[in-house]
C-alpha cells in the first residue's frame, strides 16, 4: 500500500478500501487493485484479495497484471489516434476511404474517423465473428461487408466493430503495425513497462485469470478474454492489452496534464481537449474514444460526484479508469470479476460507490 496523506483524507481512503474488502468478501471479484491520485503523483495504491477463489490462491499484489479489456480502446487506440491527429497523419473528419482503399462506397463515404471514435458510425455493436473468421485482414473484410444499422451521426451505439475498423485506419495511415505503435508511441515514452499485448509465460504467475471459457475450453490466463480479440491474434484495437494499476496511473497523470507528463509534451493540449469533450451526437455520452458521466439520472460507473468535465472508460473483465481534470483526480480500479464466470455482475454496485468515495476523500 502507498498512501499520500497530504492529498486525501485518511479516513475517507479507509472507507474506499473498505468497499473493496467488502466486494471480495461478497464474491464480486476474487481480488482487486486500486490506484488513486492527482496529476503530480499516485497518492494511494492498494491491493485486495487473491487471484482466484481457491483457498491456496496467490494474494493480489500492487503490480498484478489484469486483462484490461475495453480499456484498450482508450489507453491504446484513442491515444494513438490522438498522436496521429497531432502529427497531421490522420484527419478526424476524413472518411475512412481516404485511408482504406477498396472499401464499399456505402460505408467509406459516410463514415469518418471521428464517427468511429464516437461510436456513431452506424456499425452494429458486436458480432461473434470469431465463429466465422480469424486473422486481422479477415476481420476487416468481414466488417466492411456488414450493413450499417443507422445513419452515421444520428445516434450512438457502442461498437467493438467500429474500433476494429479504426485500428485498420490507424495502421494504414501510420504505415506501422498496431502493436508497435502502442509500444513505441504510448508505452515506452510514458514508462508503462507492464502494459502489453500477448504477455509471455514468465509473466503468467502474476496475471489475474479471467473466465473458464466454454469456447476455448479452459480458464484464461494471459490470453485475451475477448473472443474476437483472441481470433485476431491477440492484438486488437478494441481489447487485448494487459496492464497494472501503476502503469494506468502514469497514463492518467498524462491525461490530467492535458498531454504533458513529467515535464515533456506528449500530445498537444488542443487535441486532448477535443478527444475528451463530449461529441455532438444526439443522446450520447461519448467523447472521442472516451465516455463521460451520465448526469441524466441513469447509471454511471463514475458515480454521482465526478465532475461533468470527467472522462473515463470501463472494461468487461472488471476494469475502470476515470479522470476528473476539474478536481485533478484519477481513479483506477482493476478486478477480474469475470472469474470464473462472466455472469457475476456485483461490480455494478461497487464501481460507482468507489468513484464517489474517491471524490469524498479529496482534501
Give pLDDT, residue 105.
Answer: 52
Domains located in the chain, CATH noted? 2-70+191-360 (3.40.710.10), 77-179 (no CATH)
Q: Which pairs with CB-CB distance under 8 Å and at least 24 residues apart come from 129-133?
A: 129/228, 129/231, 130/215, 130/227, 130/228, 130/230, 130/231, 133/231
Average pLDDT over every residue of 197-209:
97
- CB neighbours (10 Å) of residue 211? 23
Give residue 183's pLDDT band: very low, low, confident or very high (50, 70, 90).
Answer: very high
For residue 340, say if its preceding peptide bond is cis, omega within 30 degrees of 0.
yes
Q: Which of 253, 226, 213 minimizes the C-alpha distance to 129?
A: 226
Answer yes or no: are the C-beta atoms of 63 and 55 closer than 8 Å: no
Average pLDDT over every residue of 328-351:
98
Give pLDDT, residue 350.
Answer: 98
Q: Which of 303, 310, 340 minimizes the C-alpha distance to 327?
A: 310
Answer yes or no: are the C-beta atoms of 82 and 254 closer than 8 Å: no
- CB neighbours (10 Å) of residue 146? 16
The more confidently predicted of residues 98 and 189 is 189
288: which 3 cell numbers? 472521442
pLDDT tens-digit readout, 214-272: 999 999 999 999 999 999 999 999 999 999 999 999 999 999 999 999 999 999 999 99
Give pLDDT, residue 108.
Answer: 61
Give pLDDT, residue 278.
Answer: 97
Between the CA of residue 252 and those of 64, 93, 143, 255, 328, what are the distances in Å? 18, 27, 32, 5, 10
Q: Which of 130, 125, 316 minimizes the C-alpha distance to 210?
A: 316
Task: Please give the share of the chain, as a percent, with pLDDT higher than 70.
Answer: 96
Give pLDDT, residue 107.
Answer: 62
pLDDT tens-digit readout, 19-65: 999 999 999 999 999 999 999 999 999 999 999 999 999 999 999 99
pLDDT tens-digit readout, 65-104: 999 999 999 999 999 999 999 999 999 999 998 898 766 5
Q: Which of 114, 202, 94 minimizes the C-alpha distance to 156?
A: 114
Flag whether pLDDT at 4 surpasses 70. no
- CB neighbours (10 Å) of residue 262? 13
Give pLDDT, residue 3.
Answer: 46
Task: Please give the share of the chain, as a percent, with pLDDT higher than 90.
Answer: 91
Give pLDDT, residue 6.
Answer: 59
With vertex at residue 38, the alpha carbon angle to CA 334 and CA 311, rounded to the nearest 5 degrees, is: 60
Amino acid at each position: 500500500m502507498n498512501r499520500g496523506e497530504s492529498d486525501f483524507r485518511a479516513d475517507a481512503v479507509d472507507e474506499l478500501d473498505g468497499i473493496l474488502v467488502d466486494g471480495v468478501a461478497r464474491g464480486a471479484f476474487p481480488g482487486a487493485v486500486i490506484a488513486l491520485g492527482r496529476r503530480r503523483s499516485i497518492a494511494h495504491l492498494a491491493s485486495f484479495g487473491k487471484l482466484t477463489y481457491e483457498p491456496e490462491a496467490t494474494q493480489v499484489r500492487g503490480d498484478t497484471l489484469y486483462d484490461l479489456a475495453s480499456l484498450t480502446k482508450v489507453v491504446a487506440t484513442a491515444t494513438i489516434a490522438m498522436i496521429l491527429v497531432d502529427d497531421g497523419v490522420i484527419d478526424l473528419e476524413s472518411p475512412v476511404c481516404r485511408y482504406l482503399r477498396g472499401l464499399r462506397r456505402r460505408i467509406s463515404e459516410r463514415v469518418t474517423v471521428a464517427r468511429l471514435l464516437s461510436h456513431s458510425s452506424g456499425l452494429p455493436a458486436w458480432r461473434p465473428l470469431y465463429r466465422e473468421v480469424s486473422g486481422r485482414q479477415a476481420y476487416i473484410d468481414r466488417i466492411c461487408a456488414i450493413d450499417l444499422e443507422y445513419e452515421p451521426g444520428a445516434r450512438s451505439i457502442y461498437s467493438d466493430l467500429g474500433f476494429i475498423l479504426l485500428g485498420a485506419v490507424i495502421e494504414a495511415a501510420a504505415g506501422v503495425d498496431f502493436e508497435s505503435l502502442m509500444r513505441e508511441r504510448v508505452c515506452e515514452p510514458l514508462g508503462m513497462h507492464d502494459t502489453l499485448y500477448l504477455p509471455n509465460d514468465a509473466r503468467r504467475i502474476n496475471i489475474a485469470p479471467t473466465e473458464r471459457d466454454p469456447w476455448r475450453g479452459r480458464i484464461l490466463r494471459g490470453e485475451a478474454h475477448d473472443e474476437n480479440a483472441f481470433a485476431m491474434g491477440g492484438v486488437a484495437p478494441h481489447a487485448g492489452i494487459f496492464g497494472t494499476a501503476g502503469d494506468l496511473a502514469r497514463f492518467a497523470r498524462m491525461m490530467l496534464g492535458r498531454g504533458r507528463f513529467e515535464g515533456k509534451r506528449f500530445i498537444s493540449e488542443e487535441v486532448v481537449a477535443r478527444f475528451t469533450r463530449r461529441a455532438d451526437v444526439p443522446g450520447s455520452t461519448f467523447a472521442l474514444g472516451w465516455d463521460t458521466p451520465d448526469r441524466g439520472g441513469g447509471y454511471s460507473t463514475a458515480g454521482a460526484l465526478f465532475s461533468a468535465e470527467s472522462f473515463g472508460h470501463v472494461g468487461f473483465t472488471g476494469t475502470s479508469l476515470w479522470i476528473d481534470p476539474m478536481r485533478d483526480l484519477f481513479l483506477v480500479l482493476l478486478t477480474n470479476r469475470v472469474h470464473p464466470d462472466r455472469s457475476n455482475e456485483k461490480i455494478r454496485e461497487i464501481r460507482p460507490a468507489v468513484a464517489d468515495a474517491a471524490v469524498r476523500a479529496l482534501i
